[in-house]
Structure 1
Amino acid sequence: MNLPDYLVPTAWQWIANALALALLAYAFIKAPWKHLSTSTLQHVFLGSIVVLMLIWSVKAGIRPGLNIHLLGVTALCLMFRWQLALIALALILASVTAFGMAGWQSLGINFLIMAAIPVAFSYNLFRLIDSKLPNHLVIYIFACGFTCAGLTISLSGLVAVLALSAMQVYPANYLFSNYLPYFILIAWSEAFLTGMAVTLMTAFRPHWLATFSDKRYLKTKY
């Protein structure tokens, strides 16, 4: 992740940048801006961006372009829905790029790998769980939060491996044996931190979660 410009072919850069710009424009048009109607939620939105900027800045790597860091995608989707999550991730990625941690010309492909694809997977998995499983707090925390976060960052790693392999940056067998396994390990940290954050928010700040409802998940059943 955080691919530098020299690793991405020019044709890939143009296609990815155009696709990323179109997705971001669509998200901006469709975003539920009413969720940020209060100053408190606006501060939460901006605060989440700052926190994830710091988290994305703490990364480990073995070779150029083979960096690993936590994403926070699932938490953003549950808090603000997919449109605002995409906008937040675009701001985060632009910030870390401005600090020299990625390339501007490869901004589009980094956005697709670390934002668009994980957001699409995470939010659609949440919707599937929400529609198929009972409305229960434990399911919301452990399925929509914990499990979804772990699977999402694992998928992001797989997409990064496939992209690097398709661009012939590194051999596929090297990526699958020396890079992808690290995402399986970091998936536990992503899942644990997301599950813990969702648990705390459902307990103390449920209005921070746009996808959560006290009436649905905490109603008493007889």
Structure 2
Amino acid sequence: MFLEAAIALLSMATALFMQPWRLLASQRPLAHETHGRASPLWTPLLASLVVLPWAWALPTLHHMPLQLQWSGACLVLLTLGWPLAVPVLLAVGAIAALVSPGLSWADALGLAVWQGVVPATLALLLGWLMRRLIAARAFMGARIFVYVLGRGFLGTALCIFLAGSLSQWAGHVLPGVGEQLSLVARWLMAWGDAVVTGMLCAVFVAFKPQWLATWSDQIYLSGH
């Protein structure tokens, strides 16, 4: 638990230092508003706080032979950006502990770190690497598929699996599953996360790009 607490405190302090609340003070109002300056990021933020706690608490709400886990952290990262995603994911862990009697605060902290902060941070590093490759002209033409497939789909599978492997190294094994089979199970579950994240990224890019804090027309649509 000491490791999880240290990661959570360090990540939260770094995120707060970057003043994530500035992302919620957008110049663009919501589509249905005629007055005010509310950020469109309020929609994915509130959706994360409503949906994710139930997804994280589900394995403790129902007894299953294999506790299927769904993170959603990479999607939160893509929609909110890292500084805002970290406090949201930590809050999701706290809410999950409140809605599930079988989830202790220590377990909720582990969920918030290994299913939330760590994969979101890995996704941030992957996005930085892809932008560097784009700047070096490693990808030619329109790069929308670099974002949707690279960050939304394949990148999510990789980040979720790496985070799950790190959590297993830290002592968090899947109940009822052997150590070697746990890695196989984590790999398969990571693809479930990847399918949902990649699909929603494609939808948001097409219809609601303002819900993606990490999206940029200049970077991913320009062919120059």
TM-score of the aligned structures, taking structure 2 as reference length? 0.78
Alignment partner of 1:209 is 2:216: no
- 8 Å contact kept, 2:71–2:193: yes
CA deviation map 1:109-130 (0-9, x unaligned): 4333222221221110111012
**Which amino acid in structure 2 is aligned with residue 162 of structure 1?**
W
SS at match of 2:117: helix
Alignment partner of 1:126 is 2:127: yes
**Which amino acid in structure 1 is aligned with residue 210 of structure 2?**
H
- Describe the shift of the 1:31–1:196 C-alpha distance in structure 2 as closer, same or farther (beyond 3 A): farther
Alignment partner of 1:174 is 2:178: yes
2-structure distance, mates of 1:41, 1:151? 25
Alignment partner of 1:137 is 2:125: no
- Describe the shift of the 1:52–1:105 C-alpha distance in structure 2 as closer, same or farther (beyond 3 A): closer
Deviates more, 1:52-61 or 1:77-86: 52-61
1-structure distance, mates of 2:121, 2:21? 19
SS at match of 1:184: helix
| Aligned residue pairs, count | 203
2-structure distance, mates of 1:208, 1:185? 28
**Which amino acid in structure 1 is aligned with residue 83 of structure 2?**
Q
Q: RMSD in angstroms over aligned alpha carbons?
A: 2.7
- 8 Å contact kept, 1:161–1:176: no
Alignment partner of 1:74 is 2:74: yes
Deviates more, 1:72-81 or 1:24-33: 24-33
Displacement of 1:79? 1.1
Alignment partner of 1:84 is 2:84: yes
2-structure distance, mates of 1:79, 1:219? 21
Deviates more, 1:110-119 or 1:191-200: 110-119
**Following superposition of structure 1 onto structure 2, how do residues 47-126 of structure 1 map, counting pairs within 5 Å?**
47-59=47-59, 67-99=67-99, 100-126=101-127
**Following superposition of structure 1 onto structure 2, how do residues 144-183 of structure 1 map, counting pairs within 5 Å?**
144-164=151-171, 174-177=178-181, 179-183=182-186
1:17 equivalent in structure 2: 5
TM-score of the aligned structures, taking structure 1 as reference length? 0.79
Displacement of 1:164? 1.6
- 8 Å contact kept, 2:90–2:117: no
**Which amino acid in structure 2 is aligned with residue 132 of structure 1?**
L
1-structure distance, mates of 2:183, 2:201? 27
Displacement of 1:197? 0.5
**Which amino acid in structure 2 is aligned with residue 175 of structure 1?**
E
- 8 Å contact kept, 1:118–1:156: yes
2-structure distance, mates of 1:199, 1:55? 22
**Which amino acid in structure 1 is aligned with residue 79 of structure 2?**
M
Segments of structure 1 that go 5 or more residues without pairing to the other structure are 1-12
2-structure distance, mates of 1:209, 1:42? 11
Deviates more, 1:192-201 or 1:103-112: 103-112
- 8 Å contact kept, 1:154–1:183: yes
1:3 equivalent in structure 2: none
Segments of structure 2 that go 5 or more residues without pairing to the other structure are 26-37
